[in-house]
Amino acid sequence: MARKAAIIGGGVIGGGWAARFLLNGWDVGVFDPDPEAERKIAAVLANARLALPALSDVPMPAEGKLTFHGTIGEAVDGAEYVQESVSERIELKHKVYAQLQQANPGVLIGSSTSGFKASDLQKGSPAPENIIVAHPFNPVYLLPLSEVSGSPKNTPATVEKTVQIMKDIGMFPLVIRHEIDAFIGNRFLEAVWREALWMLKDGIATTEEIDDAIRMGFGLRWGQMGLFETYRIAGGEAGMRHFMAQFGPALKWPWTKLMDVPEFNDELVDLVASQSDAQSGMYGIRELERIRDQNLVGFLRSLKERNWGAGKVLREHDERRRAAFHAGTLDGTPLKMAEMQVLPGWIDYNGHMTESRYLFCASEVCDAFLRLIGADMDYVAGGHSYYTAETHIRHLDEAKLGERITGTLQVVKADEKRIHTFITLAVGDRPVATVEQMMLHVDMKAGKACPAAPEVLVLLNPIATAHAGLPVPEGTGRAVGQKKG
């Protein structure tokens, strides 16, 4: 049975949480009095469905069931976790917790609050230990950070349970060790926001110029190394100490206006909003969200390839799901090994997935299979691997932008040195290509074929035996130009 989360407040952030839980296989019950909430969540979910699966290299679980409810009590019924995402008003949050704890007394409540401390949120609650901060960043379905911040009233077990739930949905829970307003992320962002408002108000730069200064320069660095690692490099070979010596005195120079806040009045709002309209008003918000998501997917995918920063979190999430997935897949049928989404860069001038990507997809399927039988990176580091000796691709149908391709693999024949595989790439139940391959087991140092290690054969052989009982897949052994049948 699917696990269930309740999302209380289905606006920008609640919608993002709903999408993340649903796409990770949880059922989600939503309560939001806004009559538009269902439509808004559907729009967020549509964008999330295009973006989040593109980060995964293992099959995503079946999407959970989304339900909308007329009361908080119905939404939280049967939920093991609540993500509260109502507007940032403390009295509203207190009212919501009272209703939640009356309906489901032991339920764990994580708050999306941007700045209230857990001890502020817990005031007046009969069970303060079950209320904790789990502060996300927009878009919740793509960005992994969740700042988990408790008070002395939360037990270590509550913190750990929250951490585990965040990991289960692919997030990076950062436990904040000291209770502070706005945690780490927003304390930092607020400082940047104040400086930006000053520069606007003083007529130093426009919204667009400030955004350009970020996105053409240091913003790109922050996304992959943060602040300290970046500055360490800026110190040259002498590193951080040299950086500090060189730029330390600047701390006392009038570089910032940080302690002063520009007066927040209509004039300031008009200045920011009108410049922002001029800069980006040609795009609708949902359109901007899709542009942002595609940029983030490309960025995150390249971090994933390098197993770095947020990309490492994605890989770890894949590993956890891979283990769960394979536990249920070794049943003697062709192995469902990988799922991929057709990304914008994969489309050619004919408007469909370009031919090299079929081989790329097959190689993802094949690598997943090799990991399954223990021929993984540690095995390769030990000097042995499988090399592909021959590949035959048949293109059966088109794959279009955004479609999800499932790759299944059947072992046609295997012995100590060879694996003959037949991979089917399908969109739903429509095969788009088959890829037949012969792989040779190789001693990499000697550059020669040799028998695979016993620990690999012990995993490979039962699969090969089970698959030997299956019909030989249609198309096996075909040559280019050969007539069907």
Ligand X SMILES: NC(=O)C1=CN([C@@H]2O[C@H](COP(=O)(O)OP(=O)(O)OC[C@H]3O[C@@H](n4cnc5c(N)ncnc54)[C@H](O)[C@@H]3O)[C@@H](O)[C@H]2O)C=CC1
Ligand Y SMILES: C[N+](C)(C)CC(=O)CC(=O)[O-]
Instruction: Please identify, using beta-carbon distances, which residue of 92 and 238 lies nearer to ligand Y.
Output: 92
Residue whose entry in the numeric block shows the structure tokens 């699966």: 53
Residue 12, marked binder: yes
Options 12, 50, 145, 449; binder of ligand X; rule CB under 6 A: 12
31 sits near ligand X (criterion: CB under 6 A): yes
Options 11, 110, 139, 170; binder of ligand X; rule CB under 6 A: 11
Residue whose entry in the numeric block shows the structure tokens 């400086």: 195
Instruction: Please identify, using beta-carbon distances, which residue of 114 and 424 lies nearer to ligand Y.
Output: 114
Candidates 7-15, 240-248, 320-328, 339-347 — which segment interacts with ligand X by CB under 6 A? 7-15
- Those residues whose C-beta lies under 8 Å from the C-beta of residue 422, and which sit 6 or more positions away, are 409, 410, 412, 434, 435, 436, 473, 475, 476
Binding residues for ligand Y (CB under 6 A): 114, 137-138, 185-186, 189
Instruction: Map the footprint of ligand X across residues 182-241, applying CB under 6 A.
Output: none
The site partner of 37 among ligand Y, ligand X, none (C-beta below 5 to 8 Å per kind) is ligand X
139 sits near ligand X (criterion: CB under 6 A): no
59 sits near ligand X (criterion: CB under 6 A): no
Options 92, 204, 278, 380; binder of ligand X; rule CB under 6 A: 92
Alpha-carbon distances, residue 280 vs 19, 185, 283, 289, 298 (angstroms): 26, 25, 6, 12, 21
Options 18, 45, 86, 457; binder of ligand X; rule CB under 6 A: 86
Three-class SS of residue 105? coil
Determine the straight-line distance between the first and last CA of the chain, rounded to whole angstroms.
44
Which residues face 421 on adjacent strands? 411, 437
Closest by CA to 200, choosing from 189, 211, 190, is: 211
138 sits near ligand X (criterion: CB under 6 A): yes
300 sits near ligand X (criterion: CB under 6 A): no
Residue whose entry in the numeric block shows the structure tokens 């992320």: 185
Question: Least Å distance between CB 158 and ligand X?
Answer: 20
Question: Least Å distance between CB 177 and ligand X?
Answer: 20
- Those residues whose C-beta lies under 8 Å from the C-beta of residue 439, and which sit 6 or more positions away, are 366, 386, 387, 388, 389, 418, 419, 420, 421
9 sits near ligand X (criterion: CB under 6 A): yes
3-state SS string over 223-238?
A: HHHCCHHHHHHHCHHH
Alpha-carbon distances, residue 27 vs 22, 30, 45, 63, 168 (angstroms): 6, 10, 14, 8, 14
Options 20, 22, 32, 146; binder of ligand X; rule CB under 6 A: 32
Known binding-site positions: 9-14
Known binding-site positions for NAD(+): 9-14
